[in-house]
Chain A
Amino acid sequence: MKFKLTFWKAVFAVIMIAGIYSTYVRFFKGLGAVSGMSDKFPWGIWIGFDVLCGVMLAGGAFVVTGAVYLLNIERLHSICRPAVLTAFLGYVLVICGLMFDLGRPWFIWHQLIYMNPHSVMFEVGFCVMFYTTVLALEFSPAVLERFNLTAPIRWIRAALIPLVILGVILSTLHQSSLGTLYLIMPEKLHPFWYTPALPFFFFLSAIAVGLAMTIFESSVSSRAFGRQLELPVIQELGGALWIVLWVVALLRVEDFYHRDQLLAIFRPGYEAYFLWLELLLSLVIPLTLLSFKKVRLSADGLYLSAVVCLLGFVTNRLNISITGLETWAGHHYVPKWTEVSITAMIIAMGFFLFAMAVKFLPIFPEEEEHSAGIPVGTRQSAPLPQRKEAPELINAGD
């Protein structure tokens, strides 16, 4: 295969070089040298984005597998495998991100022997560990098919429903627990964001983002890999997203009302500006867009709504983990470029690994075959990916 330099490959290369340099700084100069974190602000974007948003963005798998295997919505079957792949890579990358953020990552296995069941962090850690295993098992038929190993596929198939149920339970637990992490700081987190309902909102936003992320990933995949977009599928996801966003919006308003914040949120101020941005992107704009039937039915409209919604919920989690804590800390946290470049490297790795998986593994159903209704493990032969002429791998980012 001849190597051709394209725009996205160049971007990828620049991100990787910067990331490798920052990795050197992180492990040879220390956390203080590589990041904007300090005693005043001990958690930065590596927790706020890489972990909180990473786990949220990987929520598509439990939503889609739950819908397909438990709610029996067969029409969504074709997106199961890409959604599980996205989530699996997402969790692996969250763990990679933790390796940068933890002060002593070489002791991460202490989690297995020194357990503190009163710690939310312990619960999140265990759920993430188990759920990554579940995702690996749910995804394994794609790898096994590739190598024509039919016997293990049959075992996975037999265990599929319990696995899916386990996956949904584990996701419910740790998605919400990421919100519970912040319940211990009632006096620190700004009242716009501190609510006893944080775990509940984290879980709901994981569902919304799971749907939006699946729309995003289907749309991007169709462009990057030259596949035909399965419009009916993303229309269905868009409809579900619209409903979930309404639920989130109503509950947010109710929550503000019960905590006497309903007027306060309209008073201009540092936190208010970020809250407005978050509410506009996560709820107001997507809900407005999706209320037009034309948007709900069009590929571009759904793509746009999903992207705005994703940005909105990312803003939400960054507000909770950063903006909402700045006033208490009396410190304005600004990440260093090296810190940002490691996050960028992790995201780029995600796109790269996804593209590689699509290239070498049967991720998407073959286009001519009518695949709806065929469970993950049933394809006996290993259908190789269709395209021999792989378009630019890194195009996934456009």
Chain B
Amino acid sequence: MSKAILYDATICINCKECEKACAQKNNLPYDDKIASESVQSDHKYTVVLAKNDKYMRRLCQHCEKPACASVCPVGAFRKTADGPVVYDVYKCIGCRYCMVSCAFAVPKYQWGSLNPRVQKCIMCPDNVAAGKPTACASACPTGATKFGDRDDLVREAQDRIRANPANYVNHIYGLKEVGGSSVLLLSGAGADFAGFGLPAGLPEDPLPEYTFRVLSKIPDFVPLWGLVLGGVYWITHRRVEVEAAEGKHGGAR
């Protein structure tokens, strides 16, 4: 069963306990200055955004069909069966295609490091594998960040919107975006997701399909193209041979 995180902005109180727990879990620094930073970065995997009195939490969406895992030439990213999209720094060569391809601009880079790595939320894969919630979900005092089975959480999100349609934007972000993700977000009424940097109108097709449509043709294309080129060679040279044999250009060869 695939696990997921459900974040509900209407329950969130902007206490930033999730940020703090995340930093501790991933051995990242955390202080008042970092707490006030409102962007995900190489030292901040998750951030609670505040716009007027509306909140939104940003973290890796953990796509069902992640672009980052698809584009990585060395397979440093991997979608686990449990849900987390994990990163293996020992494979990474630093091409940053993951950053370019991510629809949510989640992966961040250690631009100041001499042996840089990509930094992003990896959904506490050790906790998840052991059947425990992620650090952020454990730390959340109000239950705004909830950990569970994805199917259950989807149903719960639908129920919450249905029970209180006036309180919510009628959209579960992450249900269908780029093929769905293991992080589901609910936003308070009047605060659209785009305002928090979550792109609207993303395709429902998983992004890897856009490139795989082309890549998957290569195994058929190569022998065919080789045959065509070989055929062209044969025809053009055969013509010369025939001409020579017929004595039209007897001395040419």
Query: B-contacting residues of A (Cβ < 8 Å)?
Result: 27-28, 30-33, 37-40, 42-43, 66, 69-72, 101-105, 107-108, 110-111, 114-123, 125, 161, 165, 168-169, 172-173, 176-177, 180-181, 183-188, 199, 329, 373
Q: Which residues 98-143 in B have Cβ within 8 Å of A in the complex? A: 99-101, 103, 105, 108-117
Which residue from A119, A125, A187 sits with its C-beta under 8 Å from B70? A119
- Of B49-57, B162-170, B185-193, B226-234, the segment with at least 4 beta carbons within 8 Å of chain A is B226-234
B113 A185 Cβ-Cβ under 8 A: no
Question: CA A187 – CA B74 in complex, angstroms?
Answer: 25
The answer, yes or no, to whether B215 is at the interface (CB within 8 Å) is yes
* Residues of chain A with a CB closer than 8 A to B101's CB: 184-185
B-side contacts of A188, CB under 8 Å: 103
B112 touches A110 (CB 8 A): no
Q: What 8 pairs between A and B have smallest CB-CB spacing?
A: A103-B94, A32-B111, A72-B236, A116-B75, A122-B73, A114-B74, A121-B73, A42-B99
Contact B233 A185 (CB under 8 A): no
Beyond A32-B111, A103-B93, A165-B233, 10 additional pairs, beta carbon < 8 A: A31-B109, A31-B116, A32-B112, A43-B100, A103-B94, A118-B208, A119-B75, A183-B213, A186-B207, A187-B199
Expressed in whole angstroms, the minimum distance between the Cβ of B211 and any Cβ of chain A is 5
Q: Are A184 and B230 in contact (CB under 8 A)?
A: no
A115, B237: Cβ atoms closer than 8 Å: no
Taking CB atoms, residues of chain A closer than 8 Å to B100 are: 42-43, 185
What separation, in Å, do the CA atoms of A394 and B240 have in the docked complex?
Answer: 42
Give bound CA distance, A120 to B233, whole Å. 30
A-B contact count (CB 8 A): 162
CA A37 to CA B237, docked complex, whole Å: 51
- B218 contacts across to A, CB distance below 8 A: 123, 173
Q: Is the CB of A169 within 8 A of B226?
A: yes
Given A103-B93, A104-B116, does the pair A180, B214 have CB atoms closer than 8 Å? yes
Q: Which of A30, A32, A119, A173 contacts B73 (CB 8 A)?
A: A119
Collect the chain B residues with CB atoms within 8 Å of residue A181's CB. Answer: 97, 211
Contact A186 B111 (CB under 8 A): no
Q: Are B72 and A119 in contact (CB under 8 A)?
A: yes
Q: Inside 8 A of A42's CB, which chain B residues have their CB?
A: 96, 99-100, 109
User: B207 CB to closest chain A CB, in angstroms?
Assistant: 5
Q: Is the CB of A70 within 8 A of B208?
A: no
Across the interface, A43 reaches (CB within 8 A) one of B96, B105, B110, B199, namely: B96
Is there contact, CB below 8 Å, between A102 and B94? yes
When the two chains form their complex, are residues B93 and A108 in contact, meaning their CB atoms are under 8 A apart?
Answer: yes
B92 an interface residue at 8 Å Cβ cutoff?
A: yes
Query: When chains A and B are docked, how far (Å) is the Cα of A105 from the Cα of B212?
Result: 26
Number of interface residues of B (CB under 8 A): 59
A176 to B221: give the CA distance in the assembly, Å: 13
CB pair B210–A184 under 8 Å, yes or no, is: yes
- The 16 listed contacts between A and B (C-beta, < 8 Å) are A70-B233, A72-B233, A72-B236, A102-B94, A102-B95, A103-B95, A114-B91, A116-B72, A120-B71, A120-B211, A120-B215, A165-B230, A183-B211, A184-B208, A185-B207, A329-B105
Chain A CB within 8 A of B85 CB: no
A105 in contact with B94 (CB, 8 Å): yes
**Structural contact, B236 and A71, CB atoms closer than 8 A:** yes
User: Most chain-B CB neighbours within 10 Å: which of A37, A172, A187?
Assistant: A187
What does the 1/0 interface line of B70-82 toward A look like (CB < 8 Å)? 1111111000000
* Contact A110 to B74, CB < 8 A, known contacts A69-B233, A169-B229: yes
Q: In the complex, what residues of B have CB within 8 A of residue A180's CB?
A: 211, 214-215
Q: Which listed residue, A28, A37, A121, A186, touches B71 by the CB 8 Å rule?
A: A121
CB of B67 closer than 8 Å to a CB of A: yes
* Bound form: Cα–Cα A42–B232 in Å: 43
